[in-house]
Chain A
Amino acid sequence: MSTAVVDARPQTAPARLALVGNPNTGKTTLFNELCGLRARTSNYPGTTTAVRVGHMPASDRHGSVEVVDLPGLYDLQGSTPEALVAANALNPAGRLRADVVLVVVDASNLARNLIIVGEVLAQSRPVVVALNMMDVARSRGIGVDVERLSQRLGCPVVPVVARRGEGIDALRHAMREAATANRVAPADLPPAPASLEALATWGAAVADACSSAPPDLTATDRLTERLDRFLTHPISGVATFIAIMCALFWTLFTLAAVPMDLIEALFGSLSEALSAVIPAGPVQDLVTQGIIGGLSGTVVFLPQICLLFFLISLLEDTGYLARAAFVMDGALSRFGLPGQSFVPLLTAHACALPGIMSARLIPNERDRLATILIAPFMSCSARLPVYVLLTSLLFAGQPALAGVAFAACYLLGAIAGLFTAWLFGRTALKGRPQPLILELPSYRTPSVKNALLAAKDQGMAFLRTAGTVIMAICIVMWWLSAYPRPDVPDAGTATVAAAAADTGAVDTKAAQASSYAGQFGKLAQPLFEPLGFDWQLTVGVVTSFLAREVFVSTMAVLEGGAGDTEVDEGVVSRIRAMTRDDGTPLFTPATAATALVFFVLAMQCLPTLAVTRKETGSGKYAVIQLAYMSSLAYVLAFLVNRGLALAGVA
């Protein structure tokens, strides 16, 4: 766009345009129209508040203009992190000073939107108002005199329908003009700092002078009222919510499974190909097991994350999520959580990583933090093989009871999470949960383009984490589990071993037990002695610290198998037959139950800690999560073990 804007700065420092506006004004849609794929989500410098930053062409001769999509706000007076970020970005002395401010306004809701317009105008800087959703205004019988509004505000006002790309060229032109124009605040604008009441009165006066009032209750309003009553009704609202969530997660699991399998197959092939090229030895192991294994184990979640954010974005765009928040608010508020927590917590049942990332839906920071801290308690899909193994060991030949125990694991995780939210809400978390107050946006057809861009954005954000922190963690944990290698047996021993039933398994078991993780497991065994765990189970706990599903393969290896990750009857039978060093069975009902409780509650997932750290902007909360979950798992597992012993269950 603006030659003048770019010329105002050195070539190395692109001009900046800040987008501000109320939530639900189509700000993100407009941002996508301006920047398309040239955007990414990142934290505002020095904060954990996510802003989208994109670029749009400046002109044929000069690079591009940086466009910063600030969080949706109703006014600039709050003390929330989002309000502080917006205030900083708009401040000429702030970290991200913008040359032009584009205020996005909902034309069908002019009076309220003018409050933030007034606050920006008071700063006497280049401002353009994008009068978005003109189509919605027209459908509601609201007419806006754009010329008059522009005169009253003393800045360009451009009518647009961002969803259809209408008015975008005119908007670019207006921004180019505004960048060089000197402007002063409207004479009738309440002097800064103005109260919200004064700004609301001013906004209402401007709106009344420049727009025609809608009829009392239009047909659209009546349909909205009927839908609201239905979707928030205690019976029909809950039923609809359950149906939509079931459909969402069915779609998520079904559709994501295909690319997930493909990713695993691709990494498997890549590993094989590299094994053929790189000579056997530590370097091959590092590349094929450490790097490829670590990458595969994290990138495999990418389809779930992208699809989840695609579906959530569609739902949010329809206006339904605001109604759904009220459906769940009654139940969750008893534990100090807002209704919006439900989607992240439900998502965490698939995987804690997208669950924690989707907590961005929650506007209140305290509530968001509470949700992030408890999300890993929800039984994710990685726990499934562990649950299957341990419930099968606990109730051998009693599938009905095993099924009940399986369901009880999910319940225990959810209860532990809710209890933790309640406990943290009264201790560690500052502030009190806010009762739900939400704007109920108009029902709309969702934008597939917006949803695709949201999915791409979140996927890229995840990959940036996966490609750095998670990958490094995976490599370190692999090294701890694989090294030092046991001494290579001499030829004679090797011949004898080869005659044994399964040389590979013996070697693998020896390697697992003698690795640093294995050694640490043996060292840590006294710590787990009160839970009834022997050194093998302790090694299983330690090696699965990277990812809990590793427990199954570790136990299979220690039993003498080949590190199976699938839990079938053969694996269960072999693990059931495992013995302690004194020859007694390892998995007694008491040990299996204790281990089950431990794995329901323990934080056995390092990538989750990395994502918690990223989303909260502090390692402190990751440490709290780890310490709290591990302690709770240990204490409850101990109590179960002692309780069963007292009840005479060995």
Chain B
Amino acid sequence: MAISQGIVRLADVEAGTTVRMSDARLEPGSRALLRALGLTDGSVLRVCKQGEPCVVQVRTTRIGLSSRVARDVFILPIEAPPAGGPAA
């Protein structure tokens, strides 16, 4: 599947970046769980930590994702991390 311009893997963005959820190429069970946790298409999330696990925050929900999941979630970065912000 082609990746649209600007869309990158969640695992590849810096901690502190604000991103918009684009797609999750996961098996249906994991995909459904992400959606139920608030990671729906178009939702805005903040990447809090990279690595194992990747931690993201959607509104006030913090979600831990194994790095395998973070590699298969595609996002559009919309705001760079603040200067001196958190690093993974």
Residues of A within 8 A of B (CB): 74-75, 77-78, 108-109, 111-112, 115, 140, 142, 196-197, 200, 204, 207, 214, 221, 224-225, 228-229, 232, 234, 322-323, 326, 329-330, 333, 431-432, 434-440
Can you give 29 A-B contacts (C-beta < 8 A)?
A: A74-B37, A109-B60, A112-B38, A115-B36, A140-B60, A142-B60, A196-B32, A196-B36, A196-B40, A197-B35, A197-B42, A214-B60, A225-B55, A228-B48, A228-B49, A229-B88, A232-B49, A232-B52, A322-B64, A323-B64, A333-B68, A434-B33, A435-B26, A435-B66, A435-B68, A436-B64, A437-B33, A437-B63, A439-B64
A87: min CB distance to chain B, Å? 14
Q: Are A75 and B60 in touch, CB under 8 angstroms? A: no
Q: List chain A residues, Cβ under 8 A from B36.
A: 74-75, 77-78, 115, 196
Q: Are B64 and A438 in touch, CB under 8 angstroms? A: yes
Is B69 on the interface with A (CB-CB < 8 A)? yes
Q: List chain B residues, Cβ under 8 A from A435.
A: 26, 30, 65-66, 68-69
Interface centre among B40, B58, B62, B88 (most CB of A within 10 A): B62
Q: Are A329 and B48 in touch, CB under 8 angstroms? A: no
Is B41 on the interface with A (CB-CB < 8 A)? yes
Q: Which residue of A lies closest to B24 (CB)?
A: A437
Chain B contact-residue range equals: 35 or more
Q: A115-B36, A437-B30, A437-B34 are in contact. Are A326 and B86 (CB under 8 A)?
A: no
A133: min CB distance to chain B, Å? 11
3 tightest A-B CB contacts, nearest first: A74-B36, A440-B62, A436-B66
Q: Are A439 and B49 in touch, CB under 8 angstroms? A: no
A342: min CB distance to chain B, Å? 14
Q: Which residue of B lies closest to A229 (CB)?
A: B49
Q: A115-B36, A197-B35, A326-B53 are in contact. Are A438 and B59 (CB under 8 A)?
A: no
Q: List chain A residues, Cβ under 8 A from B55.
A: 225, 228, 232, 440
Q: A225-B49, A228-B48, A326-B52 are in contact. Are A436 and B37 (CB under 8 A)?
A: no
B29: min CB distance to chain A, Å? 6
Residues of B within 8 A of A (CB): 26-27, 29-30, 32-38, 40-43, 48-49, 51-53, 55, 57-66, 68-69, 86, 88
Interface centre among B37, B55, B61 (most CB of A within 10 A): B61
Q: Are A112 and B61 in touch, CB under 8 angstroms? A: yes
Q: List chain B residues, Cβ under 8 A from A109.
A: 59-61
B61: min CB distance to chain A, Å? 5
Q: Are A437 and B37 in touch, CB under 8 angstroms? A: yes
Interface centre among A204, A207, A323, A439 (most CB of B within 10 A): A439
Q: Are B53 and A112 in touch, CB under 8 angstroms? A: no
Q: List chain B residues, Cβ under 8 A from A437.
A: 30, 33-34, 37, 63-66, 69
Q: Are B48 and A436 in touch, CB under 8 angstroms? A: no
A495 to B42, CA, bound (A): 93
A164 to B51, CA, bound (A): 37
B27: min CB distance to chain A, Å? 7
Q: Are A112 and B29 in touch, CB under 8 angstroms? A: no
Q: A197-B40, A232-B49 are in contact. Are A440 and B66 (CB under 8 A)?
A: no
A282: min CB distance to chain B, Å? 56
A157: min CB distance to chain B, Å? 18
A436 to B55, CA, bound (A): 12
Q: List chain B residues, Cβ under 8 A from A229.
A: 49, 86, 88
Q: List chain B residues, Cβ under 8 A from A436.
A: 53, 64-66, 69
B80: min CB distance to chain A, Å? 15
A135 to B51, CA, bound (A): 32
A283 to B39, CA, bound (A): 66
A228 to B65, CA, bound (A): 13
Q: A140-B60, A225-B86, A432-B27 are in contact. Are A439 and B37 (CB under 8 A)?
A: yes
A468 to B80, CA, bound (A): 62
Q: Are A439 and B69 in touch, CB under 8 angstroms? A: no
Q: Which residue of A lies closest to B48 (CB)?
A: A225
A373 to B58, CA, bound (A): 36
Q: A435-B68, A437-B63, A437-B69 are in contact. Are A112 and B37 (CB under 8 A)?
A: yes
A131 to B63, CA, bound (A): 22
Q: Which residue of B lies closest to A339 (CB)?
A: B66
Q: List chain B residues, Cβ under 8 A from A108.
A: 60
Q: Which residue of B lies closest to A199 (CB)?
A: B40
A329 to B60, CA, bound (A): 24
